[in-house]
Amino acid sequence: MNTNLRFIDPHVHMTSRTTDDYEAMARAGVVAIIEPSFWLGQPRTQVGSFQDYFSSLVGWEPFRASQFGIKHYCTIGLNSKEANNEALAEQVIELLPLYVHKENVVAIGEIGYDDQTPAEDKYFRMQLELAKELNMVVQVHTPHRDKKAGTIRSMEVCLEHGIDPGMVVIDHNNEETVQAVLDRGFIAAFTIYPKTKMGNERMVEVVRTYGSDNIIVDSSADWGVSDPLAVPKTAGLMLQKGISKEDVVKTCYQNALDIFGKNGKMKASDWLRPEGVDQTQLFNDNSVLRGQKPKTGSDKIV
């Protein structure tokens, strides 16, 4: 459904996706994305792999997105799964200050709990202190198991550290957690997956029930079965089901801009500039093209 709206996907792992996905997202109206630090599907074994990954999130991936007219931002952090390797986690924590000041880094994240171990708790708290020190937004990954208890624990720890709930995005919510998150003043983000987490039909009912204040829709598309078009598809379904355009704009665009734009690095002018794309540009002598004629200026990507 062509809604003629602009969208932000504030949680999508484009390192795992292809240029075809970028083209499809641009065609669907996605103008900006946020890529949270993530894990590879298997544990990293040395700090250098983290360093190269973080460097790609502030270098190659923003370039790749720009070639399709999409503005790329990221969040930097040690994910909860890999916090349990403490010897490695200590080294990664030392890396973070080298990256959090980069121009496209809009938050510390995604951090939080997976199995809710003591090690996860330790490094979650350390990263909350870093965010507090730098007055940065925090993006929290809530556990897939024992979700409600883990979500409440995540918020309680944030409050213990004196973090303003309005500076914290609690992600991977569902119907069981949303009320608790909103009641405490945190931002509630919802991951739209084809079969697990939240489906877009369910998301429509969440917005119908709770409204659009402090609610964000994202895809969390990654290397598994997932959909990088989840945000525009959910927006289209909302409109079909009678959700107001104002509520769609807030949940699929404006709320993400408001929260992740707090440090001034993410702003609408970044993607509303008229110059368009420039596919003649290179990154370390690399192009995303393979013999195609480069598009420039007002040329349409799709």
Structure tokens at 61: 């991936």
* Confidence (pTM): 0.93
Residue 200 confidence (pLDDT): 77
Q: How confident is the prediction for the chain on average, in pLDDT?
A: 91
Provide the β-strand partners of residue 8. 32
**pLDDT mean for each 10 residues of the chain (302 residues):** 83 94 95 94 92 96 94 96 94 97 96 95 98 97 89 97 98 94 97 67 93 96 88 95 97 98 94 76 75 72 60
Closest-CA residue to 37 (of 10, 63, 57): 57
Question: What CATH code is assigned to 7-296?
Answer: 3.20.20.140
Instruction: Say how far apart CA 218 and CA 12 lie, in whole Å.
Output: 7
Cα→Cα distances 55→60, 100, 236, 283, Å: 8, 11, 35, 13
Closest-CA residue to 112 (of 38, 182, 178, 57): 38
Residue 281 confidence (pLDDT): 81
Report domain extents, the chain.
7-296
Terminal-residue alpha carbon distance, the chain: 16
